[in-house]
């Protein structure tokens, strides 16, 4: 098989890239090691920056998002029973869209199906060959048969544990990582959100986050131990722990109910550089991971796709390699800004093991400054709504 761009991974990054290229007349083949049903079963965050929203519209996959998504103009920061709203729109002129990643992935799948996309699900033993040549190859197996896809370029959108990053020689690749000493325990429930906007909570008992997928479906998180056992967390235990961390006014409004999904996610910061080698380009979690505190993971994947799709279109239209050659530099500049913001927000909102009274007081001072300073809130808002591509 011959194609222009081979894409590994059918998450949002891979699907969005494939769709944008197709709309510009550029062929692609997407290889996914999991089934379509499995990809759709993954529950992930759903806070979309305006740049990501614009890209989904450009990809002709934003109709349902515009109809069902929730537009937010601000958020709340709480410490103890003190709660302060940060007006994102006032400070930046921008808003955020709340729309579940599962729904976004389904919309992209439907858009690809409408254009008769070439997506191979359950592709086994995918490998990248001849990476340093002008015609790198993807090899895979399906139904006990072996296949080869000859490409002009390969996009590695296969996540942190995928093969793409590992295909870059160790002598070339440098990685940076910080693992945080706690995790997030999250549940999804068919309950009315406790607030019209997100609430970030710093509490003596630990961090909490109140979010939503719709006005009848809530997403809640609490900080837990790094090695927490999910089996020990009944729904009742979770609701009790969440209630003790919320400001009193929010706790009184908390509506509880059976969880429809419950999971534990460890937190880490990770960056690989460079994120291109030969004709291989990494995008999304294959290239970088951010703690979810800053709501940057999906949006960074979208910004990678923005740079990569523009670079590929420029190459095929103008035979110009310039944007492809600068892809890693442009992406990583934005990535490190998001990493910094997500690290900072994680650092001031969570309880750390063996936290000293000094460090706890520094957290309180940081939050006091954020609540009281219009300048601090403007800087926060600029980062939270997303820096421009």
- On whether the CB atoms of residues 85 and 197 are closer than 8 A, the answer is yes
3-state secondary structure of 213: strand
Query: In terms of DSSP bridges, do strands 82-87 and 74-79 run parallel, antiparallel, or are they unpaired?
Result: antiparallel
Distance between the two ends of the chain, CA-based, in angstroms?
A: 34
Joined tokens for residue 149: 């896809």
Identify the H or E element spanning 68.
helix 63-68
Joined tokens for residue 217: 């479906």
Name the residue with tokens 């279109």.
313
Active site residues: 72, 200, 292, 296, 384
Angle at 91 between CA 61 and CA 346, to 5 degrees: 75
3-state secondary structure of 78: strand
- In angstroms, the CA 327 to CA 4 distance is 18
CA dihedral 47, 52, 53, 55 (to 10 degrees): -160
Joined tokens for residue 219: 């997403």
Strand ranges inside 280-326, DSSP E: 280-282, 288-289
- In angstroms, the CA 232 to CA 224 distance is 12
- On whether the CB atoms of residues 63 and 102 are closer than 8 A, the answer is no
């Amino acid at each position: 098989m011959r194609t222009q761009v081979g894409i590994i991974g059918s998450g949002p990054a891979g699907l969005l890239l494939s769709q944008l290229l197709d709309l510009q007349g550029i062929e692609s083949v997407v290889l996914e090691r999991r089934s379509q049903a499995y990809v759709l079963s993954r529950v992930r965050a759903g806070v979309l920056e305006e740049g990501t929203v614009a890209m989904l519209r450009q990809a002709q996959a934003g109709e349902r998002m515009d109809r069902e998504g929730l537009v937010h103009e601000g958020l709340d920061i709480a410490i103890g029973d003190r709660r302060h709203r940060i007006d994102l729109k006032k400070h930046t002129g921008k808003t955020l869209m709340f729309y579940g990643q599962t729904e976004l992935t389904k919309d992209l799948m439907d858009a690809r199906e409408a254009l008769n996309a070439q997506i191979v699900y359950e592709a086994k033993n995918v490998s990248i060959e001849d990476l340093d040549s002008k015609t790198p190859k993807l090899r895979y197996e399906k139904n006990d048969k072996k296949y080869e896809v000859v490409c002009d370029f390969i996009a590695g959108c296969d996540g942190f544990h995928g093969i793409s990053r590992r295909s870059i020689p160790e002598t070339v690749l440098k990685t940076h990582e910080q693992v945080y000493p706690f995790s997030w325990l999250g549940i999804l429930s068919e309950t009315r959100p406790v607030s019209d906007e997100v609430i970030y909570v710093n509490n003596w008992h630990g961090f909490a986050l109140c979010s939503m997928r719709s006005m009848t479906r809530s997403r809640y998180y609490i900080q837990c131990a790094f090695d927490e056992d999910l089996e020990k967390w009944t729904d009742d235990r979770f609701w009790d722990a969440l209630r003790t961390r919320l400001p009193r006014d929010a706790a009184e409004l908390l509506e509880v109910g059976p969880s429809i999904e419950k999971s534990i996610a460890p937190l880490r910061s990770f960056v690989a550089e460079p994120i291109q080698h030969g004709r291989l380009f990494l995008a999304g979690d294959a290239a970088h991971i951010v703690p979810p505190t800053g709501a940057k993971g999906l949006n960074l994947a979208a910004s990678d796709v923005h740079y990569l799709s523009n670079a590929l279109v420029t190459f095929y239209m103008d035979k110009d390699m310039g944007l492809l050659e600068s892809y890693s530099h442009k992406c990583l500049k934005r990535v490190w800004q998001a990493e910094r913001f997500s690290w900072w927000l994680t650092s001031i909102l969570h309880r750390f093991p063996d936290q000293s009274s000094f460090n706890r007081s520094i957290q309180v001072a940081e939050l006091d400054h954020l609540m009281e300073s219009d300048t601090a809130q403007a800087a926060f808002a600029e980062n939270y709504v997303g820096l421009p591509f």
